């Protein structure tokens, strides 16, 4: 049931980008667990296969390319892109974002740079945050240690990383995730600024 507080709260759209393996998921999980802010995740849709431990409706809505394209053609996505060339499609469901904003929540979109540009074109007051690695070597180490990609997928992610980092000027906030605790404190400081704005 909606409380007075939730109905008077201003809904917001937060866009978080950064190369795969930089630590977006790790930082955001901590932020969600802290429960300091009225955050809600936007579960994206994708045509990629689930990784071990990933659940439908929790990590992504996993769907076939046919279903994805049909839903895209019906206008169900706020944005959708092939994030890695020749790879899977990823997209943000319009309904999730609209519902969250209506409820006064802060909906977090963990999306790539193309997606971020598309969202800002449609929602100019979206808050954009870029998480950068301390170096490309550190990024490679993290991706390797995570061990969730094949060699080929890892190389695709590394190839994309430099071009994503080169576009980080587009974002209102930029956080370097070197020491996790320091990066987390910076993220919390950004959230507090958002809460005041």
What is the binding site for ligand ADP (CB under 6 A)? Answer: 18, 20-26, 142, 145-146, 177, 180
- Per-position x/- string for 151-170, each x denoting binding to ligand 5GP as judged by CB under 6 A, each - no binding: --------------------
Please answer whether residues 87 and 160 qualify as being in contact, where contact means their C-beta atoms are separated by less than 8 angstroms.
no
Q: Give the DSSP H/E element, type plus range, for residue 113.
A: helix 113-122
89 binds ligand 5GP (CB under 6 A): no
76: Cα within 13 Å, side-chain hemisphere: 14
In 6-149, the DSSP E strands lie at: 12-17, 39-41, 45-46, 61-62, 77-82, 89-93, 106-110, 127-132
Minimum separation from the CB atom of position 157 to ligand ADP (A)? 8
Closest CA to 160 of 85, 104, 89: 85
Q: By C-beta, is 92 or 177 nearer to ligand ADP? A: 177
**Coil, strand or helix at 78:** strand
Number of chain positions touching ligand 5GP (CB under 6 A): 15
Query: Measured between alpha carbons, how far is 164 from 127 in angstroms, rounded to an integer?
Result: 18
Among 15, 39, 83, 187, binds ligand 5GP (CB under 6 A): 83
Q: Which does 91 bind (CB under 5 to 8 A by kind): ligand ADP, ligand 5GP, none?
A: ligand 5GP
92 counts as binding ligand 5GP under rule CB under 6 A: yes
Choosing from 12, 13, 20, 104, the residue that interacts with ligand 5GP (CB under 6 A) is 20
Q: Which residues bind ligand 5GP (CB under 6 A)?
A: 17, 20, 44, 48, 79, 81, 83, 90-92, 110-112, 114-115
């Amino acid at each position: 049931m909606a409380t007075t507080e939730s109905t008077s709260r201003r809904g917001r759209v937060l866009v978080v980008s950064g190369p795969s393996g930089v630590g977006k998921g790790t930082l955001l999980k901590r932020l969600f667990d802290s429960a300091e802010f009225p955050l809600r995740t936007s579960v994206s849709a994708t045509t990629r296969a689930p990784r071990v431990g990933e659940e439908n409706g929790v990590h992504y809505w996993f769907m076939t390319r046919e279903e994805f394209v049909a839903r895209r053609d019906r206008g169900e996505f706020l944005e959708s892109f092939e994030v890695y060339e020749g790879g899977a499609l990823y997209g943000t469901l319009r309904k999730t974002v609209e519902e969250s904003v209506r409820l006064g929540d802060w909906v977090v979109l963990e999306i790539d740079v193309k997606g971020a540009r598309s969202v800002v074109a449609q929602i100019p007051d979206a808050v954009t945050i870029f998480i950068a690695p301390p170096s490309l070597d550190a990024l490679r180490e993290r991706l390797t240690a995570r061990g969730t990609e094949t060699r080929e997928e890892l190389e695709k992610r590394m190839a994309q990383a430099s071009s994503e980092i080169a576009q980080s000027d587009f974002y209102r906030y930029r956080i370097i995730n070197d020491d996790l605790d320091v990066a987390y404190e910076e993220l919390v400081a950004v959230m507090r600024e958002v809460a005041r704005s």
